[in-house]
Structure 1
Amino acid sequence: MAGMNDAQHLLDLHDRQLRRGARPDGPGCRVERDGGVVRHTGPAHAWNGVLWSGLDEHTADAAVAAQLAHYRAEGVPFEWKLYGHDGPADLGERLVAAGFVPEETETLLVADAAAQAGVLTLPAGVELREVTDAEGVRQVVEVHERAFGTDSTDLGRRLLDRLAADPGTVTAVLALADGVPVCAARMELYPGTDFAGLWGGGTVEEWRGRGLYRALVAYRARVAADRGHRLLQVDAAPTSRPILQRLGFVPLTTTTPYVHA
C-alpha cells in the first residue's frame, strides 16, 4: 500500500472513493451519474452539487447546461466543486460564463489518521464533549456562527438529520470552557472507504491560539482510526492550511466551489 509520500496515489484514491464512488450523505439525498458527471441532490438544506466530472473541451458545455437544467428543475441552488486537476483546463471560465460565482479556493489535504491521534492537551477548565442531541447541535451552530460570522442553520439541520438517521457516519465534538461552547468541529465517516472527512473546525475569537483546533483534530483522528478509516481528508481554508501542514497533512490539489443560485 502506498504511503503518505505518494501524493498521486492518494489523489487517485480520493477521486475514486469519494468523488466517483460518492454515496448520499443524508436522508432524502441521492447520488446520480449523468454522463461525465457525478452529482448529489437532496432537500434545500442539504448540500447540492457536482462532486466529480470527467469532461473535455468537447463535452464540458453540454454537461454544464445539463446540470443547470437538473438543479433548476429541483428548485435548489447548487455548487460545482471544481478541483485543480479537473478538465478541461478552462472549466472554471466556462462555469463563470454560465452564471456561476467562484468562492474561496481551498486546499485538499490528507493525513494518516493513526499518526494524528496523539495525546489530547487541553487548557485548564476545557473539556471535550461529543454531540448526540438537539441541544448539542444548537451549540455547534452557535459556535460556527460566532467563529465564522455566517448563518449555520442549514448545517444544524443536516447534522440533526445524520444523527437521527445514521449516527455511525458522523461525529461532532464541542470544546467547552467552564461549560460554555468555544470550539466545534465535525467528521464524516465514509463507509467502505479509507477516508474520514474533517469539517467545520471553528473556534470563537477569544479562544484562538490555545490548541483547541489541534485537540479536535486529534480527537476525531482517534475516532476515525478506531472505526477503520486510515486517512483523514480536509478541504482547508487558507487560515487552517498552515496549521494542518505543520501537523503533517499533505496537500494534494486545490478545490474551488462554483456556486449557482
Structure 2
Amino acid sequence: MTEPDPASLLEAYDSQLRRDAEVPSALSTTALGPLLLATYLGGRGFITYRDLATDEGPATEESVRGLVEGALAHYRAMPEILQVEWKTRGHDHAPGLHEALVAAGFEAQESESVMIGDAALLALDLDLAQGVTIRRLTDEDDVLRMLAMQSEVFDDAPDEAASHAEQILHRLRTADDMEMWVAEEGGEIVSAGRLEPVEGTDFAGIWGGATRPEHRGRGIYRALTAARARSAIAQGKRWVNSDSTEFSRPILERSGLIKVSTTTPYVWKSARHTPATT
C-alpha cells in the first residue's frame, strides 16, 4: 500500500469535507461571505467554511473580525438559538481569529487532532476479548442506551446530553447517512461510535468513540473501529477521517492514520442558555 501524502490528504479534507459536507442534518443554512451558518434542533448554531477569504481578497484581521461580528449578529437575531459553535482548524490562514472570537464572547474548547487514513488500514480481522460482541444498532431504545453511555464517559452536562440525543434521533429518522455501532459485554454497552459516510466524497467519518474506562486497553475500541472501517469500504469509501481526542489518537496512529491538522471549537452561549443544575 502506497504511503499517503499528508499534503494531499489535507487538500482532500479541505475540498471534500468542509462547509456543506459538515451540515447534513441542519434545519437551515445561511451563507455569509465564505461562512455557512447552520441551525439545528435544540437551539444550536454551527459555523463552518473552507477558508476565510472574501471577494476582496485573502483574510485580514479586519475582515475576520467583520465575519465574526456578522455571524454572531445573525444568531443573536434568532431567539431560539442558545449556543453557537465556530469550528476552527489549525492550518487555516485566519489572522486575528482567536482574538476576534474571544472578544465576541466565544470560549475555546479542547483541541482535537484531525486524523485521516486509508480505511483498509483499519479494517482488520481482530480477535475480540472473550464475551465481547460488536453490532450495528437500528433500534431507537438501543441507540438511546448508546448515547447515555457516551454522555457518561464524556461527562456531558444533562442538558447537553439531552440535546445531543434529540439531534441524533432526528437525523436517524430523517436521513440514511449515519450508522451507530457498539461493543457489548454481558448485556452492557462498553464501547461505542458512529460511522458517517459522506455522500459524494471518498470519505467516511468515525465519530463519538467512547469506551468505559474499566474496559480500555483490551483492544475493544480498535475492533469497533475495524468494524466501522469495513462498513465504510463496503460503501465504496477509501478514506476514514476523525477528530480525535488524546484517548483515540494513539490508537488510530498505530493503525496508520495521519494527523493532518488540529481543530478547536469555540462556543458562544446566549444569556438565555440555562446551565444544567446538579
Q: What is the TM-score with the length of structure 2 in the denominator? A: 0.86
Shift of 1:110: 0.3
**Corresponding letter in the other structure for 2:170:** D
Structure 2 CA distance for aligned equivalents of residues 92 and 235 of structure 1? 20
User: In structure 1, which of residues 142, 155, 167 is the aligned counterpart of residue 164 of structure 2?
Assistant: 155
> Does structure 2 conserve the Cα–Cα contact (< 8 Å) formed by 1:29 and 1:40?
yes
Say if 2:215 is the partner of 1:207.
Answer: yes
2:91 counterpart residue number: 85
1:39 counterpart residue number: 37
Structure 2 CA distance for aligned equivalents of residues 157 and 97 of structure 1? 31
Say if 2:42 is the partner of 1:12.
Answer: no
Structure 1 CA distance for aligned equivalents of residues 28 and 204 of structure 2? 20
Say if 2:64 is the partner of 1:60.
Answer: yes
> Does structure 2 conserve the Cα–Cα contact (< 8 Å) formed by 1:132 and 1:163?
no
Shift of 1:222: 0.5
2:104 counterpart residue number: 98
Q: Percent same amino acid at aligned positions?
A: 38
1:177 counterpart residue number: 185
Q: Indicate how the Cα distance of structure 1 residues 255 and 22 shifts in structure 2: closer, same or farther if over 3 A, else same.
A: same
**Corresponding letter in the other structure for 1:107:** S
Aligned length: 256
Say if 2:227 is the partner of 1:219.
Answer: yes
Q: Secondary structure at the match of 1:22?
A: helix
2:273 counterpart residue number: none
2:137 counterpart residue number: 131
Shift of 1:120: 3.1
Shift of 1:86: 1.7
Structure 1 CA distance for aligned equivalents of residues 210 and 72 of structure 2? 32
Shift of 1:4: 5.0
Q: Secondary structure at the match of 1:86?
A: coil
> Does structure 1 conserve the Cα–Cα contact (< 8 Å) formed by 2:123 and 2:226?
yes
Q: Secondary structure at the match of 2:127?
A: coil
1:234 counterpart residue number: 242
1:164 counterpart residue number: 173
Structure 2 CA distance for aligned equivalents of residues 197 and 122 of structure 1? 23
Q: Secondary structure at the match of 1:59?
A: helix
2:274 counterpart residue number: none
RMSD: 1.7
Q: Secondary structure at the match of 1:127?
A: strand
Structure 1 CA distance for aligned equivalents of residues 20 and 219 of structure 2? 35
1:29 counterpart residue number: 27
**Corresponding letter in the other structure for 2:97:** L
Q: Indicate how the Cα distance of structure 1 residues 142 and 231 shifts in structure 2: closer, same or farther if over 3 A, else same.
A: same
> Does structure 2 conserve the Cα–Cα contact (< 8 Å) formed by 1:106 and 1:235?
yes
Q: Which runs of 5+ in 2 are unaligned?
A: 54-58, 270-278
Shift of 1:153: 2.1
Structure 2 CA distance for aligned equivalents of residues 138 and 191 of structure 1? 25
Structure 2 CA distance for aligned equivalents of residues 23 and 185 of structure 1? 18
Shift of 1:188: 1.2
Q: Indicate how the Cα distance of structure 1 residues 4 and 32 shifts in structure 2: closer, same or farther if over 3 A, else same.
A: farther
Structure 1 CA distance for aligned equivalents of residues 267 and 37 of structure 2? 14
Q: Indicate how the Cα distance of structure 1 residues 219 and 45 shifts in structure 2: closer, same or farther if over 3 A, else same.
A: farther
Q: Which moved more, 1:120-129 or 1:101-110?
A: 120-129
